[in-house]
Structure 1
Amino acid sequence: MAAQSYIAISELHPNFSHPKVAGIIIGKTDVKSFPDRKNIGTDRFTFGFTIKDSPDFFINVTAWGNDGYVNGLSSSFSIGDCVTIENPLVANKDPEKGDRFCPTTPGLYRLLVTEAHSQVRLCADVYTIEQLLPLIHLPVKDSRDFYSLGDIEVNGQRLDGTVINILAAVKSIGEPKQFTTSDGRKGQRLEVKLFDDSVSSFPLICWDREAIQLVQTLIPKETVLFIADAKISFDNFRSGMAATVNSKTIITVNPDTREASLLFSYAKEVSESGALDQDEKPEDVPVDSIIDVYTVSQLKQKAQESPEVFFGITYSFISKLDLDSSVSKVIKTRCSRCKFQVSEDAESCTNQLCPGRDQALSATTGFDLLVDFTDHTGTLPACTLRSPVAEKTLGCTADEFTSLTDDERTAMKWKFLLERCKIYVKILPSTKMRTGIRGMIVDCSLADPGEVKQHMSALL
């Protein structure tokens, strides 16, 4: 550290009097309160944060005090800020007690700050700030020591309950959900979907306000995370693995490492190819569990009010269905690994960043249509209709379709075009679409006139 008045974290020792430390905040926990055993009827407040002052050294800091001091201090800085700490108590770590719940640090000590003895301020020294800022992009663990999302899924329940490091890109960020526990405490939960070149969607759950605030600033599909010490568990509700951010976890945003740089390039490529959007499986929920009926304008309105994915039924006319254009526009071949469109005779995937591009091509061929549907309130353009849903809707396989004559294809098109259909649709936010949303058809069939009359009269 340039300014000689600061003591390096690596040199801290309990014998120092009035130490002064500078560092960048790489982790922070929510404020908690405990009944004060000395003053019955009052609470003591505490929160923790972790500061780093060199590539290899970082230390945990705990603040204790009354409500006003601790909440005031906590709200005065965030992850990514540079701070100076004057006169903290340098204490030995206690692995049996509090340190079990803090990030794992390389040194022997931790810092304690209190209102009476210590001062924590935002760093004002430009030179020090410039030295500290790059450290926010260095993971706190070996940059090669991580699980891919594919590794986690392959190891499955053997990892249940373990704490591991993950390198992954951000696919989407949900909305925070508020709740109240049975004993009246308020809480919140936010889910981030991660992806990498082995898995297209994997849940990361955040419960802490600090973690939620951090992830809400990230840009989906343009951010890579190194998540040190994420808790892995088997999620019964999803019947799959999920990762959770806890008080030990430190998230490094866009790490300055070779592995992260490769993943960042992959994320950019698949995002631009649209493969990530295509990867949203229409069978996310059973079709018979979708019961909400919408007009087209209600679908658009709901999508604008909330960026969450949702499902619905619409009784609409199919107003565009290009079954009689060239077969190559109706039936497409995609790489099974990265969903990139490839030519049928390709021997390997042409996507430079496909995880299996050095291997023989594993591809699937099927219907890949863009359909418009319209009702009395408007049109939702360019909705995806793909196999196997398309095969069920059209009553014909992709192979059978290729052997139909032009007249037979036109006849199939008019069986649906301008007919009222019962369309089950999944609505996704999409930055690529002019409307800002995209529909995926999950199920579609000609509608029963009596059913239409009953539902449409309720919607009018």
Structure 2
Amino acid sequence: MANNGQVQDFVPISDLHPNTTHPRVAGVIIGKTDVKSFPDRKKIGLDRFTFGFTIKDSPDYFINVSSWGNDRYINGLSNSFSVGDCVIIENPLVATKDSEKDDRFCPSTPSFYRLMVSEAHSQLSICADIEIMNRLLPLLHLPVKDYRDFYSLGDIMANGQSLDGNVINILAVVRSVRPENIKYFTTADGRKGQRLEVKLFDDSVTSFPLVCWDREAIQLVQTLIPRETVLFISDARIGYDGFRNCMTATVNSKTIITVNPDFDPVVWLYFIDHTILLSSVESISDVYTVSQLKLKAQENSEVFCGITYSFISRLDLDGSITKVIKSRCSKCRYQVNEESQSCSNTACPGVDHPLTVTTGFDLLVDVTDHTGTLQSCSLNGTVAEKTLGCSHNEFANLTEDERTAIKWKFLLERCKVYFKITPSSKSRSGMRCSVLECSLADPGEVKQNMSALGSSCSPVL
């Protein structure tokens, strides 16, 4: 272990230059690739080994590092640290990066240079200086891309195959991680590999696959707590899975995953309110009458979810298309002004960026049972598409008679409605209701659950 010394002994990444002599750099590992091998063109029959990583030493500066060498050295070096470790690099070579090649295969960095670590000239050690670690570790939560520049999962689904092959940023919550589902395999040329699929969700999509192939990425995601961990994923590759007929995101050599990112409170408040508290329907089991959930909303200042077996008493599908399908700002979800093509939210976190919109179902429905009516429940996006059985594009091309037929499939029919109730001082009722899932109810299930509620059901006269 090298002597860590004082902070002033280190060269900041921002000051690195090929003319820097014997640089000493301290940084936190924010990304790392697996070791790979290639045939050595100079020594027939032997392989050369390499891997890369990215270090950060300030909010604005980070740099890519690569190392080449024999099997023993490269694998030993790679195994000595992981993402999240603070390291000190002694005497790396500072080289001008090939912008086209480096930015294509490595994370895009603000530096014009890259570092090279070799067995003969360089040394890497884990930092043990508490003061340095306290300065570096908070940088793990700062995204390497503009936090306002991301696609929601709904945006990805809406754009479909047009995004196939693109590299984009994603902001989402971890829905599930199942280490027991890691798949190990051996390629045709004898190399061993692994694959783990993580499920993400946000306020627009309840489940979206993130595929990890690298051991480093798999190790990182296995530490994440489902439903409590937010990820800002920089430069994830988007692909269309023809076998499953769905879009997927893949962690690649350019990707940097920022866990629980630290950014603008406005974005956090929106994201927490609309996403992190969104439970998946599988975890919802409490059944309510309409009067019971209204009473709970009055007595409870927290968000809660539940199920109600109610009739759909309002479902306006056969009116103007513009009242059924709307465009909203991708960053803050406020409605877009169609004439000016601008976001109607003056505090939108994307106000200084080009407008990006998400178009989809935007419905308000009423649900009624023998105890009362819950008015103006939001039925939006992919939840509405799943409920109605068609995409918003397909719906827009239906005739008026076809839309009316879909309406009467649900109107005045008993449905099983999964909902989320959010306190709201801006609403006349003091709450907002969002439909998480809606389907025609099974009569036997209705009878069983309504009987269980029994005398607790108080009719509204």
> TM-score, normalized by length of structure 2?
0.64
Q: Which residue of 1 aligns with 2:59?
A: 55
Deviates more, 1:262-271 or 1:43-52: 262-271
CA distance in structure 2 between the partners assigned to 1:263 and 1:333 by the alignment:
31
Distance 2:254 2:274 in 1: 29
Structure 1 contact 166–226 (Cα < 8 Å) conserved: yes
Is 1:237 matched up with 2:243? yes
Distance verdict in 2 for CA 1:260–1:188, change over 3 Å: farther
Match of 2:45 in 1: 41
Instruction: Give the Cα–Cα distance (whole angstroms) in 2 for the partners of residues 333 and 275 of structure 1.
Output: 19
1:161-194 Cα distance to aligned partner (Å, 9 max, x none) = 1000000000011321112223332211111111
Contact 1:223 1:264 in 2 (8 A): no
Q: 2:217 aligns with which of 211, 222, 225?
A: 211
Alignment of 1:351-430 (within 5 A): 366-367=415-416, 387-388=439-440, 390=442, 394=444
| Change in CA separation of 1:249 and 1:195 when aligned onto 2, cut-off 3 Å | same
Structure-to-structure mapping, 1:119-158, within 5 angstroms: 119-158=123-162
What whole-Å deviation, never above 9, does each CA across 1:83-140 have from its counterpart, x for those lacking one? Answer: 0101000001113445521101011000000011001111122111111011000000
The Cα shift of 1:278 comes to: 5.3
> Which residues of 2 match residues 94-173 of structure 1 at below 5 A?
94-173=98-177
**Cross-structure match for 2:8:** 4
Say if 1:93 and 1:327 are closer, same or farther in 2 by CA, change over 3 A: closer
Contact 1:254 1:260 in 2 (8 A): no
What residue is the counterpart of 1:191 in the other structure?
197
Q: Aligned to 1:223, which of 221, 229, 237?
A: 229
2:198–2:211 contact (8 Å) kept in structure 1: yes
Distance 1:342 1:48 in 2: 56
Residue pair 1:270, 1:276 contacting (<8 A) in 2 also = no
Give yes or no for contact 1:222–1:267 (8 Å, CA) kept in 2. no
Q: 1:39 to 1:207 in 2, by over 3 A?
A: same
Instruction: Please give the secondary structure, in 2, of the residue aligned with 1:348.
Output: strand
Q: 1:347 to 1:35 in 2, by over 3 A?
A: same
Over the aligned positions, Cα root-mean-square deviation in angstroms equals 3.8
**SS of alignment partner, residue 220 of structure 2:** helix
Task: Report the Cα offset of residue 264 of structure 1.
Answer: 3.9
Deviation at 1:333, TM superposition (A): 7.1
Q: CA deviation at 1:203?
A: 0.7
Inter-partner Cα distance in structure 2 for 1:333 and 1:86: 70
**Which structure 1 residue ranges, 5 or more long, are not aligned?**
280-321, 357-361, 370-385, 410-460
Contact 2:366–2:375, Cα closer than 8 Å, also in 1? no
CA contact (8 A) 1:169 1:263 kept: no
Match of 2:77 in 1: 73
1:151 is paired with a residue of what secondary structure? helix
Closer/same/farther in 2, CA of residues 134 and 390 from structure 1, 3 Å limit = same
Tell me what 1:256 maps to. Answer: 262
Q: Is the 8 A contact 2:172 2:232 kept in 1?
A: yes
Q: 1:169–1:264: 8 Å Cα contact kept in structure 2?
A: no
Residue 331 of structure 1 pairs with residue 309 of structure 2: yes
Q: What SS does structure 2 have at the residue aligned with 1:4?
A: helix
How far did 1:40 drift? 1.5
SS in 2 for 1:54: coil
Match of 2:94 in 1: 90
What residue in structure 2 maps to residue 19 of structure 1? Answer: 23
**Which residue identity does 1:77 align to in structure 2?**
F
C-alpha distance in 2 between matches for 1:47 and 1:206: 17
User: In 2, Cα distance between the equivalents of 1:6 and 1:49?
Assistant: 19
CA distance in 2, matches of 1:100, 1:224: 26
Distance (whole Å) between structure 2 residues aligned to residue 35 and residue 97 of structure 1: 20
Provide TM-score, normalisation by structure 1.
Answer: 0.64
Distance 1:333 1:234, change over 3 A: farther
Judge conservation of contact 1:167–1:260 (CA < 8 Å) in 2.
no
Instruction: Call closer, same or farther: CA 1:146–1:113 in 2, change over 3 Å.
Output: same
CA distance in 1, matches of 2:439, 2:152: 29
Taking structure 1 as reference, are residues 256 and 121 closer, same or farther at Cα in structure 2, changes over 3 Å only? same
Contact kept, 8 Å, 2:231 with 2:259, in 1: the verdict is yes
